[in-house]
Structure 1
């Protein structure tokens, strides 16, 4: 048996599977996010530990875990968890969507070493600018900082007492030499840090440490390895079997991700594409990232007082994009703009615009944002011919038809089952325990596919052109 722990922004999911990847049990525990000021998004790491212990107890209560071999970890990326010399948390963790460090990120990004070594723009959400913000605005906290951990790696520390990270998550800090798969001493020094402040790096499929003895006794668990694990998107790719060059997925979650696996390292920071290490050795991946995908529809739901299902139920058959435009930049945008200041817009509203038309425009705006990511990936040499459709938004057939027609390639919907980040974490645990490799990361069976409508190709291209012109027009207003 293997357990995957997936630390999300608002909940932790624990998944128990066997060697045949049959799901034996799962349990989810929720927790809160704090937004103490505009652009600030924080979380108490103690909530992650409590949730993990509750989830493990729940699995243990209903299952005989004597055959448990390993635990794998997945988690949201870029968070800055600061510990003192004794391992105590010094302040709430700043999460991936915390943008307070925009000025620090711009300053780092102006230093050519960061793009050259990391292969990426220094985005405001990355870990390094957040820690630099602490150095400038909370110097007493920075002076006491002995260790810096990413969220899932703090969870590992709480479970094992060991300070480890792995390549896929570390690549989102702006301190990793992504091509060499190692910390960059130069970049750490530029931030007043050294390797002494950072966890030891392993591959995501490698073992790190066992559970703390006291915790294993309290939870009544056997002595098992905890695997290196992965950042959430890399873990989702392992769960979906997107590990070989050219394989891809499109995730319609709170944020949106267009993810492609690569068998080589081919960065192009100017595109605002994320080029990160994958969670298995000798592989990398690239992502176009949209900060508000399904979250844009949820925003409209809150605004109108109608559920997302109600808003989209009257859309009818797919048709050409309307004149109403929506730019889904509710909290800034990453790919391709790297623009933390831009905000969402509705354009071309008139008296006939109702909630259904607004919903149609939101779905179209997110589809156009994915087209921006498609073209940014293509500029690096990564061309996607088809992709798996994942995430809560993929339950909308209308949205997938629209996305396929805008993007110009088929989207494959897996059969019902578990193939997300929790399964990816469990698979990495199995690799760590058995020595198996990426060959066990198989793709799920496909239930059906959504193909582009050639009759809408010209209209979708025209809508995309208007969308891009709108961004150019409002930028800086």
Structure 2
């Protein structure tokens, strides 16, 4: 509990995030100010499930990673008891929504819908739903055991590019379609006894609703099964994942808009915890889309998360003409019927920056920044492309690549200063050209929201601003998935036709940290073209 906030009798919003390691809840007022928080850590608070990092890894095959849905249910029981103890009027909560770790799937057995509809408020959820699942260990996003099913799906629909054209992504082992395919092929009895397949997000929404909740468009985009244009299940993808008589479409249910009010809270929560019977449930979505919602990006804004991996988030008015299959395209969680969001994940982020800091700056960020700032923008034409790990955008093996202004390869640069600037410029040039390829358009109104560990380094952010030729902002409050759920509730309750940025855009607290230098556009437009050619030469190989 955040004790400095007084008890609030005005309408409140309740947002959840069922992530890999924990379930978190946040309560905000209508101004989207956080009043109360509660959480349950799976490893610490539920040791009987023997998780590490919130998951169970198969001792015989490390690629198999799962979690028990009944653990998530028990965690919900605990977090709800914690919310009850916060001593605020729960009947003032007018809306509930949330997020779930993307790609994970839950398999409800036949009869589970009846269980949800007839929950006894005198008993815990985990006691009543202990036998509600046909698959007791749900595959989660960390699972990578489905390569053969990815290959089968891509081949069936006509190749990886065709699958990306339909669903927004090539086949990935963690995506739900290949996970369902594995269950269908290796646990047919369990599959046949399954009444409904949920994503983690629609699973937890179903519990609050007291009935099966539909999979929302945005989270459903991360399955390799949903046609991102029509927002319906693609028949060929369904057949490629299972068979033409598997009843998969029926088991998935009808997809729903991410902004939809799906109903009122289950009577179980009214009687047990004191919720108002009029409290509405807004569709739950994935954790990445919900975090995106919390950023409250404008139409031409870009979010860049600078972490272990670097991730670029974009809001798109339409699908790109090229670049599909490079990264992921999802239905936009705050305008899921018309707009899209793009997610580009680059594996070589902070670990690579830390390696060059170690080698060139004696592990000191102060020295690193001094070296970075002692070299002019454009780095005398030198370009560096560094991969500590096999990269996925573009798909290329690990290695360091250094080029001079003529484009000739170098074994090493002439100084540590050049090395440091080559790294940072090279990373952001890569982010820029791949973002542009998938539909990013930098305008005079664009701004970049920087998050993640490196977003506290203003010298690195200045290079980011220069390379993209846009001002860089940081967010004073964390753009968490549970807070994004509260933002989405407010938007769902707004007058029809109200834009998301009109409703919540000014609620996200941004602080400008730097503007691009005047010569940045001329320098980096030219460098971006050179970088694209050099990167292509690395991908193609000698």
Secondary structure (helix, strand or coil) at the match of 1:107 reads helix
Residue of structure 1 equivalent to 2:286: 231
Residue of structure 2 equivalent to 1:33: 55
Query: Which residue among 241, 245, 264 is the counterpart of 1:191?
Result: 241
Q: Tell me if 1:42 matches 2:92.
A: no
Contact 1:250 1:390 in 2 (8 A): yes
Q: Residue 420 and residue 145 in structure 1: after superposition, are their counterparts in 2 closer, same or farther (change >3 A)? A: same
Q: Residue 357 and residue 38 in structure 1: after superposition, are their counterparts in 2 closer, same or farther (change >3 A)? A: farther
Moved more, 16-25 or 442-451: 442-451
Distance 2:519 2:150 in 1: 44
Secondary structure (helix, strand or coil) at the match of 2:465 reads helix
Secondary structure (helix, strand or coil) at the match of 1:146 reads strand
Q: Residue 364 and residue 131 in structure 1: after superposition, are their counterparts in 2 closer, same or farther (change >3 A)? A: farther
Residue of structure 2 equivalent to 1:83: 108
Residue of structure 2 equivalent to 1:449: 513
Contact 2:332 2:340 in 1 (8 A): yes
Moved more, 430-439 or 118-127: 430-439
Query: Alpha-carbon deviation of 1:7?
Result: 2.6
Q: Residue 212 and residue 147 in structure 1: after superposition, are their counterparts in 2 closer, same or farther (change >3 A)? A: same
Query: Which residue among 60, 85, 93 is the counterpart of 1:68?
Result: 93
Secondary structure (helix, strand or coil) at the match of 2:450 reads strand
Q: Residue 278 and residue 267 in structure 1: after superposition, are their counterparts in 2 closer, same or farther (change >3 A)? A: farther
Contact 1:102 1:124 in 2 (8 A): yes
Distance 2:426 2:85 in 1: 46
Residue of structure 1 equivalent to 2:455: 394
Q: Which TM-score applies when normalising by structure 1?
A: 0.80
Contact 1:260 1:382 in 2 (8 A): no
Contact 1:247 1:261 in 2 (8 A): yes
Query: Which residue among 423, 427, 441 is the counterpart of 2:487?
Result: 427
Distance 1:4 1:140 in 2: 36
Q: Which TM-score applies when normalising by structure 2?
A: 0.72
If asked which structure has higher relative contact order (CA below 8 Å, sep 6+), I would say 1
Residue of structure 2 equivalent to 1:161: 210
Q: Residue 452 and residue 175 in structure 1: after superposition, are their counterparts in 2 closer, same or farther (change >3 A)? A: same
Query: Alpha-carbon deviation of 1:71?
Result: 0.8
Q: Residue 467 and residue 187 in structure 1: after superposition, are their counterparts in 2 closer, same or farther (change >3 A)? A: closer
Residue of structure 2 equivalent to 1:177: 227
Query: Alpha-carbon deviation of 1:260?
Result: 2.0
Distance 2:517 2:21 in 1: 37
Deviations 1:390-415 (A, max 9, x none): 3344233243234334444332223x
Contact 1:119 1:268 in 2 (8 A): no
Q: Tell me if 1:103 matches 2:166.
A: no
Greater Cα radius of gyration, structure 1 or 2: 2
Distance 2:512 2:67 in 1: 38
Query: Which residue among 174, 191, 200 is the counterpart of 1:142?
Result: 191
Distance 1:284 1:347 in 2: 37
Residue of structure 2 equivalent to 1:202: 256
Query: Alpha-carbon deviation of 1:473?
Result: 3.8
Q: Residue 347 and residue 124 in structure 1: after superposition, are their counterparts in 2 closer, same or farther (change >3 A)? A: same
Size of the alignment, in residue pairs? 458
Query: Alpha-carbon deviation of 1:127?
Result: 1.2
Q: Residue 394 and residue 141 in structure 1: after superposition, are their counterparts in 2 closer, same or farther (change >3 A)? A: farther
Query: Alpha-carbon deviation of 1:179?
Result: 1.2
Deviations 1:121-176 (A, max 9, x none): 33333211222133334444434333221111111223333222211111111211
Structure 1: 5+ residue runs without aligned partners? none
Query: Which residue among 23, 27, 39 is the counterpart of 1:16?
Result: 27
Residue of structure 1 equivalent to 2:316: 262
Query: Which residue among 15, 23, 32 is the counterpart of 1:4?
Result: 15
